[in-house]
Structure 1
């Protein structure tokens, strides 16, 4: 199943906004300080949690864009994502501070950002103003979004977690 129909109604305390409804939904948020972040959110970890909690403090409404499965493969390689987009969206959306989640299929969040028009855009400090995608940055500049980089939680990333898991499985094999 590739949608939220598997989730019990009580498990969904956020708005799931399909891309084709983003612009319409955004109109209902007039006057609110909308904060946006986006990413793969594959193998959710405390670094993701820290980023989202800090992002929530920056505005009234936290909207998270989730990379679709094909875009994760394009960004991270053929072995990713570990979980389909709808599961990653459900996990992120289940957090108390998340107000809305949208899955976008493109490699970059450019179209998503252009429709949401955030007041604040948040990324982890593994990004810099120079390393942000140029097209995304142009969209953010056009809507006059404040761009904030949140310090990373030490030694926590999906890549480092995968590496620790792989090393652990290698150690388990060696100990047989």
Structure 2
């Protein structure tokens, strides 16, 4: 599984070789605890193209975004995602937004989970994706499953 976790430079080199005639799919998130909702969303995301890249927020960016530390560290979360057969590559980013990586990768398809709408996704990312004609897809939401619910049920004092 470790071989699926890439640095920015490694990923760009791979994509320069693999990109021809293939659709690159990008999605990202914190992925605190991988659950069935994440799995369904990532499986659907993979159906939109050939190579699924999942960006995950680093521990430090989660601390800034959520004002708390993640339950699992960034490497453990990356390994959890890399274990999924429909995920091709995982990359960890330190920024609050993956915009810098998006500008390097230029995915064919940008995917967000069903808890987003076209109006609630990061609008700077949206403008960039639309600027070169890539698709934006919102996956189906798996009802009744969320990290928040898991934490409340399993760790009520979290």
- Same fold at TM > 0.5: yes
Tell me what 1:23 maps to: 12
* Residue 109 (structure 1) aligned with residue 109 (structure 2): no
What aligned pairs does 1:1-176 form with structure 2 within 5 A after superposition? 11-12=1-2, 15-28=4-17, 29-78=19-68, 80-167=69-156
Distance 1:73 1:143 in 2: 32
Alpha-carbon distance in 1 for matches of 2:51, 2:87: 8
Confirm or deny: 8 A CA contact 2:112 2:121 kept in the other structure. Answer: no
Q: Distance in 2 between matches of 1:116 and 1:143?
A: 12
User: CA deviation digits over 1:39-64, x for unaligned, max 9?
Assistant: 11111100000001111111111111
TM-score, structure 2 as length reference = 0.91
Extract structure 1 runs of 4+ deviating beyond 4 A: none
Structure 2: tracts of 5 or more residues without a match: none
Q: Deviations over 1:61-120 (max 9, x none)?
A: 111111111111122222x31111111111101111111111111011111211111111
In structure 2, distance between residues paired with 1:131 and 1:58: 21
Aligned residues: 157
TM-score by length of 1: 0.82
Contact kept? 1:93, 1:99, Cα under 8 Å: yes
